[in-house]
Amino acid sequence: MTKRFLTVSAAAMAGIAATVAALPVTAAPAGDAAAGKKVFMRCAACHTVSASGPQKMGPTMAGVVNRKAGAVKDARYSPALAKSALVWNEKNLDAWLQRPSKVVPGTSMAFAGIADETQRRDLIAYLKTLK
């Protein structure tokens, strides 16, 4: 009796575990890098994706994820960004892309920001592919 009960609950637990494992995908979908590449067209006037330069008005986006802010040698940075001590992790990038001037007041990045959360997530997924 007890043994059968345990068998059934083990199966039920496995079912629950499978459901829970599937949940985060629904709750927070991973960014779509291909869609993010299209969003990047809004950045490409000022940023290249080339690791070897030359730089445009803004620094290259090659390797930007988890890079220290203001770290591209031949790029021109505002004093505000150079002194910010930020690291471009996903959280900081998301805030920056939403409103650069709120994250680094005095930044020279003349870009209002992207209000759409999905577009920002896709864009960050694309930035992660740039080495």
Q: How far is the CB of 90 from ligand HEC (least distance, A)?
A: 11
Computed on alpha carbons and rounded to an integer, the radius of gyration of the chain in Å comes to: 21
Buried b (16+ CB within 10 A) or exposed e, 92-115: bbbbbbbebeebbeebebebeebe
Please tell me the count of residues contacting ligand HEC according to CB under 6 A.
27
Q: Does 31 bind ligand HEC (CB under 6 A)?
A: no
**Residue 69: which of 46, 87, 91, 92 has the closest Cα?**
87
Which of 114, 125 has the CB closer to ligand HEC?
114
Task: Verify binding: residue 130, ligand HEC, rule CB under 6 A.
Answer: no
Applying CB under 6 A, the residues found at the interface with ligand HEC are 42-43, 45-47, 57-59, 64, 69-72, 77-78, 80-81, 88, 96-97, 107-111, 114, 123
